[in-house]
Amino acid sequence: MSQPFQIEISERDGARILSISGYLDAHTAPAFESAIENELKSGKVRLVVDCAGLTYISSAGLGVFMSFLEEIREKGGDIKLASIGPKAFQILDVLGFPRLFDIVETVEEAAGRFGPPGGARDGCL
C-alpha cells in the first residue's frame, strides 16, 4: 500500500518551500504539477522542493520537475531540491539530475542559495 501524497507550502528567506511526502507517481504527479503551476501564476519562481518525506518517485514524478525547469529559469528563478533520501537520490543521480538541479542537504541551504530576496535572481530586475 502506497503512502498518501501530501504537499505543504511555506516560505523561507524569500523562497517558496514545497514539502512533499509519500508516493510521487502517475496518480499523484498532477497534484504536484498543479502546486507548481499555482506558484508560477502567483509570480513565485524561487522554489525549493523539500523531499524529506518522499518515499517513492516514479518517472511521472520526475517529469514534473523537468517540465517546469526551463520556464522557471527563463523567469529568473530556479527549482532546488533538498533533503533527498538515499534511494530517491540514487534514481536522480542515475538520470543526471545533479547536473541539472541544485541538490543540497537541507531546506535552509537550498533557500540560502538564491541570495537575498528581491534581488535580480528573484525575477526582478
Secondary structure class of 106 (helix, strand, coil): coil
Domain spans of the chain? 6-110
- Residue stretches of the chain with pLDDT short of 70: 1-2, 117-125
How many angstroms separate the Cα of 19 from the Cα of each of 39, 111, 122?
13, 13, 20
The CATH number of the domain covering residues in 6-110: 3.30.750.24
Question: pLDDT value at position 121?
Answer: 42
> Which pLDDT score is estimated for 15?
95
Q: What pLDDT is stored for residue 3 in this prediction? A: 72
Calpha distance 84→11 (Å, rounded): 19
* pLDDT tens track for 33-62: 999 999 999 999 999 999 999 999 999 999
What is the pLDDT at residue 1?
52
Please tell me whether the overall predicted TM-score, pTM, comes out greater than 0.85 for this model.
yes
Of 95, 110, 98, 13, the C-alpha closest to 52 is 110
Q: Is 125 exposed, middle or buried (0-12, 13-18, 19+ CB in 10 A)?
A: exposed
C-alpha to C-alpha distance for 32 and 38, rounded to whole angstroms: 10
- pLDDT value for 119: 52
The pLDDT score that the predictor gives to residue 120 is: 47
